């Protein structure tokens, strides 16, 4: 049986984007019912809480909005949606002030009382606002407090959206939600729905993102036919901890270490970034630094555990301990002393630059469905600058909340049918009580291995085609997997659901990577090592059960790189 719940605005996800959407909606129209669905516990789940580095915003000269725009476009390989980028850079300063003055965040200050801004890689000015190296905890703690103070916001904790609900005319009508604690399904009907579940490339072997993420939002959007763009662009953060035998391998040491003057050295003690970016060295963009580290190890110049060294000890132990308290503690938990000695690191899967296509008001192709944060594509192009991620989440989350309220004011409650959701429930409950063979966690490991080996930092056509075949095999095998019969707090069933989403995201990444026959940003192809002469984005969409792939020219509405070549729309095929 499917339970029923009605609300005005439904927010799927409770990271920075989801909570800002809920707060903006509740404050714009306090009489409306706002429901937030969070996969874990409110304020404790997702990736925003894990942000160490900071928040990019232009607050004072000599920095400028144009400089932030150009840094973001150059870092993104010039395939960004420039109107989304302009929205980001113009709204970020206002959102920072809102976070402090309205929601109570306290960011670090200079001696004269101004908000402190530190250097981050790939940026022409010091513009990254922070709270030590625990910025995400500060933001999420204050946003959560504000959500709890607003009686119009209801949080459904330990619940996950498993399907988007559409009415007979194809308009958004809410979502089917699984209450993980009780193992019960709830159909939540809403006049406006905001998709803000976060991405998370957890289909890779080594990850830095929250382990509760499984690209659910991207999978849900794909299932209802939303177009997605640039899914091949997966960011690998260059400095994930190397801790042999521990699941903490891949946990981040943030960008600020390199911004503050940290050195990267290979196993021979060489500062190897001079070979890859002699001008910026360690302050180069994440895509280039990650690939450089990968190649150093691949060519036999790695550390004893297959990584490289990051060294900030020359800055002085007292400075490191004061400036990077969180990372110093994290390293000491594993017997490393970041303040006094080099620490082994290696690239780690961190962020999906691609995602659902939106406009600058967070509208998707489905009426009544809005999206914000890592579920969406276009803001970051081929590579995200550190500090632009949490800015994107809070900026576009707030916009989505405002626009959703305006939409609700002109829309009556939808009248969707339950038949489609009943079909979904039958599909999703099929593994309960079924024989546990093939083994769920074997398939999980196989997906992570093939994504890491064949669709990771360095790719080629042969490996990508092999990865696509493996993903299709894993998806087929997953249909026969069984889990224990009791649906309440059934972790194996939840991992089965996660793996379904991860397979969808992996297939979209690989298919898009095959369609981009060039190297740009985070996407590097051995068989096409240089960039193409023209700029395009890769789009994928489910149509009548088939995956349609095409290229669209990038609209250079705000700025253009030198010698930009026009690109026509190109159909790749089904």
pTM, entire model: 0.94
What is the mean predicted confidence (pLDDT) over 182-188?
97
Q: What pLDDT, in 10s, does the model give residues 422-437?
A: 999 999 999 998 987 7
572: left (phi over 0), alpha (psi -120 to 50) or beta: alpha
Cis peptide bond N-terminal to 215, omega within 30: no
Query: DSSP strand E in 107-157: where?
Result: 117-118, 128-129, 153-156
Mean model confidence pLDDT for the chain:
93
Catalytic residue chosen out of the listed positions 237, 507, 520, 523: 237
**What's 430-532's CATH class?**
mainly alpha
Region 16-45: mean pLDDT is 95
Q: What is the pLDDT of residue 249?
A: 87
pLDDT in tens, 339-383: 999 999 999 999 999 999 999 999 999 999 999 999 999 999 999
Contacts of 110 (CB under 8 A, 6+ apart): 116
Question: What is the DSSP secondary structure assignment for residue 164, as one 8-state letter?
Answer: E
The DSSP result for 439-471, as a single string, is: -HHHHHHHHHHHHHHHSSSSB-HHHHHHHHHHH
Decide: helix, strand or coil at residue 356.
strand
Cβ contact 81:379 at 8 Å: yes
Cis peptide leading into 162, omega within 30 of 0? Answer: no
CA end-to-end span of the chain = 37
Confidence of residue 566 (pLDDT cuts 50, 70, 90): low
pLDDT at residue 268 is higher than 80: yes
For residue 574, pLDDT over 60 is answered with no
The CA distances from residue 140 to 43, 44, 166, in Å, are 6, 8, 31
Distance between CA atoms of residues 282 and 263, nearest Å? 7
**What is the 3-class SS of 300-330, one letter each residue?**
CCCCCCCCEEEECHHHCHHHHHHHCHHHHHH
- 2-233+353-408 falls under which CATH superfamily? FAD/NAD(P)-binding domain (3.50.50.60)
Domain with CATH 3.50.50.60 in the chain: 2-233+353-408
Which range in 177-181, 277-281, 306-310 is most confidently predicted, on average pLDDT?
A: 177-181
pLDDT (0 to 100) of residue 514? 98
Q: Point out the catalytic residue in the list 258, 330, 336, 363.
A: 258
Percent of the chain past pLDDT 90, that is, above it, reads: 80
CB 250 within 8 Å of CB 206: yes
* 28 and 405 Cβ atoms separated by less than 8 Å: yes
What are 572's two structure tokens? Answer: 């790749």
* Range among 105-119, 202-216, 240-254, 499-513 with highest mean pLDDT value: 499-513
pLDDT tens per residue, range 226-256:
999 999 999 998 999 998 888 888 888 888 8
Give the model's pLDDT for residue 563: 58
Q: Band of the pLDDT at 7, cuts 50, 70, 90?
A: very high
Examine the pLDDT at 565 and tell me if it is beyond 80. Answer: no
**Residue whose C-alpha is closest to residue 78's, from 556, 540, 522, 438:** 556
Question: Where are the CATH 3.90.700.10 domain residues in the chain?
Answer: 239-347
- Residues 451-485 have pLDDT tens digits of 999 999 999 999 999 999 999 999 999 999 999 99
Between 21-35, 83-97, 372-386, 554-568, the lowest mean confidence (pLDDT) is in 554-568
**Segment 214-225 mean pLDDT:** 96
Q: For residue 536, is pLDDT > 90?
A: yes
Tell me which residue has tokens 């920072």: 96
Residue-level pLDDT at 411: 84
The number of helices, as runs of H, and strands, as runs of E, in the chain is 14, 19
pLDDT at position 1:
85
Per-residue pLDDT tens digits for 289-315: 999 999 999 999 999 999 999 999 999
Q: What is the CATH number of domain 239-347?
A: 3.90.700.10
pLDDT confidence tier of residue 570, bands split at 50, 70 and 90: low
Rounded mean pLDDT of 380-387? 94
Place of tokens 């979209």: 508
Model confidence at 19: pLDDT above 80:
yes
Start-end ranges of CATH 1.20.58.100 in the chain? 430-532
Tokens of 540: 């994928």
The two three-digit tokens of residue 436, written as one number: 């546990």
CB distance 361 to 86 below 8 Å: no
Q: Which among 18, 529, 509, 546 is positioned nearest to 215, based on CA atoms?
A: 509
C-beta separation of 192 from 9 below 8 A: yes
Q: How many CA atoms lie within 13 A of 284 on its CB side?
A: 23
State both tokens at 184: 């019960």
Residues β-bridged to residue 163: 176
Q: Name the band, by pLDDT with cuts 50, 70 and 90, for residue 567.
A: low
By CB atoms closer than 10 A (0-12, 13-18, 19+), residue 169 is: exposed
Characterize the bridge pairing of strands 55-56 and 184-195. Answer: unpaired
Q: Tell me the C-alpha to C-alpha distance, in Å, between residue 205 and each of 201, 446, 449, 456, 461.
A: 10, 9, 6, 10, 21
Average pLDDT, stretch 49-70?
A: 90
Answer yes or no: is pLDDT of 438 > 60.
yes
Known catalytic residue: 258? yes
Residue 239: its H or E element: strand 234-241
């Amino acid at each position: 049986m499917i339970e029923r719940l009605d609300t005005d605005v439904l927010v799927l996800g409770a990271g920075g984007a989801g909570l800002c959407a809920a707060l903006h909606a509740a404050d714009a129209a306090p009489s409306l019912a706002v429901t937030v669905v969070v996969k874990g516990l409110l304020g404790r789940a997702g990736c925003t809480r894990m942000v160490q580095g900071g928040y990019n915003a232009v607050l004072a000269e000599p920095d400028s909005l144009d400089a932030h725009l150009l840094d973001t476009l150059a870092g993104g390989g010039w395939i960004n949606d420039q109107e989304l980028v302009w929205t980001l850079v113009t709204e970020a300063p206002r959102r920072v002030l809102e976070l402090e003055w309205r929601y109570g965040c306290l960011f670090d200050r200079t001696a004269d009382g101004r908000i402190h801004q530190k250097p981050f890689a790939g940026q022409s000015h010091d513009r990254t606002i922070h709270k030590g190296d625990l910025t995400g905890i500060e933001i999420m703690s204050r946003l959560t407090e504000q959500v709890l103070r607003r009686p119009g916001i209801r949080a459904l904790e330990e619940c996950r959206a498993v399907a988007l609900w559409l009415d007979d005319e194809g308009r958004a009508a809410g979502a089917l939600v699984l209450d993980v604690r009780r193992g019960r399904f709830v159909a939540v009907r809403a006049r406006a729905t905001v998709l803000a579940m976060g991405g998370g490339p957890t289909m890779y072997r080594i990850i830095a993102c929250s382990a509760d993420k499984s690209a659910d939002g991207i999978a849900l959007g794909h299932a209802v036919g939303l177009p997605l763009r640039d899914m091949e662009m997966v960011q690998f953060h260059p400095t994930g901890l190397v801790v042999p035998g521990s699941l903490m391998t891949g946990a981040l040491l943030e960008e600020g270490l390199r911004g503050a003057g940290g050195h990267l050295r290979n196993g021979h003690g060489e500062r190897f970034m001079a070979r890859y970016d002699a001008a910026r060295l360690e302050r180069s963009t994440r895509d280039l630094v990650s690939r450089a580290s990968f190649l150093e190890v691949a060519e036999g110049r790695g550390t004893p555990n297959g990584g490289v060294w990051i060294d900030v000890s020359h800055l002085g132990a007292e400075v490191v301990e004061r400036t990077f308290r969180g990372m110093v503690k994290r390293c000491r938990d594993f017997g490393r002393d970041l303040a006094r000695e080099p620490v082994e690191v290696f690239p780690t899967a961190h962020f999906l630059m691609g995602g659902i296509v939106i406009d600058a008001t967070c509208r998707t192709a489905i009426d009544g469905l809005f999206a914000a944060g890592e579920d969406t594509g276009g803001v970051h192009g081929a590579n995200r600058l550190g500090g632009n991620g949490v800015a994107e989440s809070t900026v576009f989350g707030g916009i989505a909340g405002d626009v959703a309220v305006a939409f609700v004011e002109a829309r009556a409650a939808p009248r969707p049918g339950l038949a489609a959701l009943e079909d979904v429930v039958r599909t999703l409950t099929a593994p309960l009580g079924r024989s546990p063979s093939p083994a769920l966690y074997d398939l999980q490991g196989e997906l992570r291995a093939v994504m890491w080996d064949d669709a990771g930092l360095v790719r080629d056509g042969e490996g990508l085609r092999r990865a696509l075949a493996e993903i299709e095999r894993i998806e087929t095998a997953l249909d026969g997997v069984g889990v224990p019969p009791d649906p309440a707090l059934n972790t194996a069933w939840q991992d089965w659901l996660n793996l379904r989403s991860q397979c969808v995201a992996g297939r979209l990444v690989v298919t898009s990577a095959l369609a981009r026959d060039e190297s740009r940003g985070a996407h590097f192809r051995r068989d096409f090592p240089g960039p193409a002469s023209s700029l395009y984005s890769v789009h994928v969409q489910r149509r009548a059960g088939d995956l349609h792939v095409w290229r669209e020219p990038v609209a250079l509405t705000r700025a253009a790189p030198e010698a930009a070549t026009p690109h026509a729309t190109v159909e790749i095929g089904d």
